Every structure is written in structure tokens, then in C-alpha cells.
Amino acid sequence: MGVIDELPRVRLGVFPTPLVRARRLERVLGSGPLLVKRDDLAGFGVAGNKTRPLEFLLGAAGARGAEVLVTGGGPGSNFCAAAAMAAASAGLACELVIWGEPYSPNLALARAAGARIRPTGDTDRAAVDRLVLARAGELSAHGHPAYGVPRGGSTALGAVGFALAAAELAEQLGDQRWDERPLVVLAVGSGGSCAGLLAGLAAVGLDLPVLGVSVSRPPEEIGARVRRLARECAELLGTAEPAGRLEIVDARGPGFGTASALERDRARLALRTEGLLLDETYGAEAFSASVDRLAGGPVLFWHTGGLLPALNSRGADR
């Protein structure tokens, strides 16, 4: 796909991730088909979907001779934990700029993987990306070449990982014949995954509608960001302009990291019926949106992972 093979890449995951039919859920819900793309099984710790961008971001860091990976996010960031593990596996040091209270199971994992945590001391999320780049510049100026990555790894290069996922999906869907094309549903945080998916679908000529379930930003804002990143990703790859159908729904509900009672109930149903473990920040919201859309035709729920929070949040024991 485009210039993808020429981009430096550090292999972390086990791909393709399985694409399965959730027949037990279909029976309980009384509708279907419901397909599940199991990026929770991406094979690199608990990184889930974030394994994909990290392969290319670490590749770029290595190609530039970086010794340190600097990134950041919120205290519960799945991406930060994944980045810490990925940096360790590539022999890089890792620094994480964290807003809010710097304690969570994910940050405990990041610390255990050797990351150094740099709390910002306030709750300003947007400031993190600026501070990440400033810290990377500071380290580089002091003789420790550093590669800065904004929150979620959501750059055009990070999105390349998910563009490849679209090609993977096209192959898996192969010759399956559908009366209707499945609606692809996935959680949207910083937008890189959805953007890469749009770019990849256009690149391989697979016309599937996409429903992005926004968990942290207003739909108009994240929709524009996703489209911009998708265009930038396609430009980087030299592939077709991503003009596919994208709808964004607002799933911010009770707040970032907290699922509504309905989303939590449905996550519990997925666990008990199909053994799918969904976190309260991304998975429960996206799965619930998938259930809402099942009456309208086949749905492909992209399980993006995020397993650690699921084991430690209220969703697992209530």
C-alpha cells in the first residue's frame, strides 16, 4: 500500500488480529450479523489498537537515532502504558508527560516498564502535546536525542498503522457476500485509529461506512480532526483521498473514563455471553453503539483493547 513498505517499522504485534462472528451475542440480542475485530488480541502486552501506531512511531524514532521516546496523556492512558512497553522493547528510554493525578494501573505498568513520569501538575489536557515536544527538544539539546509523540500517537505517521489494519480487514472479509456492507464501529479518542482506517479503506478501495464513537471530544471537533489526519496519512502514503462515509456519535456521557449504566450493562453482557472484556473508557461505549446499530444491518465492532482499565475500573466488579 503506497510507500508503506519503505517506512521504518518495529514489529511489536501479532497480525492479523482475528475477525470473528459473535454468534452467541447475536442470539441474545436477536439480531446480526455482528462481527468483532479482535485488536484486544494484538499480541503486545495490553496495548490493543495502540500496538499499530507504535510500530511506525518507534520505527521513526529509531531511524532518527533517538534514545528517548517522549509522549504523554492522562493518568489512565492506555497509550502511555503501551508506549512505555514499546520503548523498552526497542531499547529506548521513555518519558511520559501526564496531566492530572499521576496514579493509575496503566501508569503503574508504565513505571514498571521503566518509564519516567513527569506530571504537569494541572488538569490542562491540551498543554500536554506542547510540553511533550518541549521536553523532547530539551533532551535532544542536552545530548539525549529524543522523539516526541503527541497524545495517543495520533499523527499522520501513527495513523499508518491503522491504514494497514484496513488492508488486513479487506483480506479477511475477502469473498464474504453481504446483502449490506457492515458498518464499522470503533471508539475514537485522539482520532488516529479512525483516521488511519479511513485512509486505509480508501487505499484498498473497500467502501465500508464507519461510525466513530467519540469518548473525549465533541463530535464536530473530533470529526474534523479525524478527516484532517486521514488526509495527511493518505498524502504520506501516496494513496487515494479518503472520501469514505464517516459518522461520529457523542459517547462522552458521564465523562471521560466512565461508562453510562447502559454501556456498563452491555459490556457485562459481552463478557458473560462472548467472553469479550471491554474497558469503561473506550470498549463499553463502542460496543454499546454497535448494539444500537445492529437493527440497521451487519455491524463490525472493532474491539480496540484497553484491557488493563477493565480489570481495575468499576465495570469489572459492578
Ligand X SMILES: Cc1ncc(COP(=O)(O)O)c(C=O)c1O
Which residues here bind ligand X, judged by CB under 6 A?
48-50, 78-79, 152, 154, 187-194, 282, 304-306
CA distances from 191 to 125, 157, 282, 290 (A): 15, 13, 12, 18
User: Is 187 or 202 the residue whose CB approaches ligand X more closely?
Assistant: 187
User: Is 148 or 152 the residue whose CB approaches ligand X more closely?
Assistant: 152
Least distance to ligand X from the beta carbon of 246, Å? 13
Judging by beta carbons within 10 Å of its beta carbon (0-12, 13-18, 19+), is residue 3 exposed, middle or buried? exposed
Least distance to ligand X from the beta carbon of 40, Å? 8
User: Is 139 or 307 the residue whose CB approaches ligand X more closely?
Assistant: 307
Least distance to ligand X from the beta carbon of 313, Å? 12
- C-alpha closest to that of 302 among 185, 173, 174, 183: 185
User: Is 59 or 153 the residue whose CB approaches ligand X more closely?
Assistant: 153
Does 254 sit behind a cis peptide bond, omega within 30 degrees of 0 on the bond before it?
A: no
Query: What is the C-alpha separation between 238 and 227, in angstroms, rounded?
Result: 16
Rg (the chain; Cα; Å): 18
C-alpha cell of 294? 445492529
Least distance to ligand X from the beta carbon of 206, Å? 19
Least distance to ligand X from the beta carbon of 71, Å? 11
**Residue nearest to ligand X as judged by C-beta position:** 306
User: Is 79 or 147 the residue whose CB approaches ligand X more closely?
Assistant: 79
User: Is 104 or 193 the residue whose CB approaches ligand X more closely?
Assistant: 193
Least distance to ligand X from the beta carbon of 161, Å? 9
